[in-house]
């Protein structure tokens, strides 16, 4: 009996070599790219034609730029922290201002007097939309019925 694993490996390798995968055409249509042809579009070769030295140089430049950007961000955050600390007053230097009393004086018409709001009832009162607000009746206790009354 022949070795089935060896035969399967040979068949798979032959199929892989015979398919010949190829990239699709890419069309440049104005400022966008598409895989569908368009009027006035140009066919672009999508393969990377850089040499390995050019690719390595580009990768090094990208890494350098990333490190530089991280260092710049760190410096910016430190500067923002210093600016915030310089512009924030210390708690020990702050004193509470004296409370301002609002009282209406006869000689000062610009002084404002706060109006007291009506106290809401402690219980829920249902109202229909559009009805005027009715004040709830005072809590009047009903006289208790005697056992003889019905």
Any domain includes 93:
no
**Pairs from 133-138 (Cβ < 8 Å, separation ≥ 24):** none
State residue 42's pLDDT score: 86
**Tally of domains in the chain:** 1
Mean pLDDT by 10 residues, the chain (150 residues): 78 74 78 85 82 93 96 96 83 61 56 66 77 59 58
Any domain includes 32:
yes
Any domain includes 50:
yes
State residue 81's pLDDT score: 92
Q: In what order do the strands lie in the sheet with 32-34?
A: 32-34, 26-29, 42-44
Domain that holds residue 59: 22-87
Any domain includes 58:
yes
Any domain includes 2:
no
Q: How many angstroms separate the CA atoms of 43 and 25, rounded?
A: 7
- CB–CB of 48/56 below 8 Å? no
Any domain includes 95:
no
Q: What is the pTM of this model?
A: 0.33
Any domain includes 70:
yes
State residue 122's pLDDT score: 77
């Amino acid at each position: 009996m022949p070795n089935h694993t060896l035969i399967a490996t040979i068949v798979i390798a032959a199929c892989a070599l015979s398919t010949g995968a190829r990239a699709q055409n890419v069309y440049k249509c104005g400022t966008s790219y598409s895989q569908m042809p368009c009027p006035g579009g140009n066919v672009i070769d999508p393969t990377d034609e850089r040499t390995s030295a050019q690719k390595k140089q580009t990768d090094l430049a990208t890494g350098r730029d990333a490190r530089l950007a991280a260092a710049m961000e760190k410096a910016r955050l430190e500067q923002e922290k210093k600016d915030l600390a310089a512009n924030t007053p210390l708690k020990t230097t702050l004193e509470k201002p004296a409370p301002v009393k609002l009282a209406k004086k006869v000689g000062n018409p610009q002084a404002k007097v706060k109006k007291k709001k009506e106290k809401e009832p402690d219980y829920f009162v249902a109202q229909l939309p559009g009805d005027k607000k009715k004040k709830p009746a005072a809590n009047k206790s009903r006289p208790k019925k005697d056992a003889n009354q019905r």
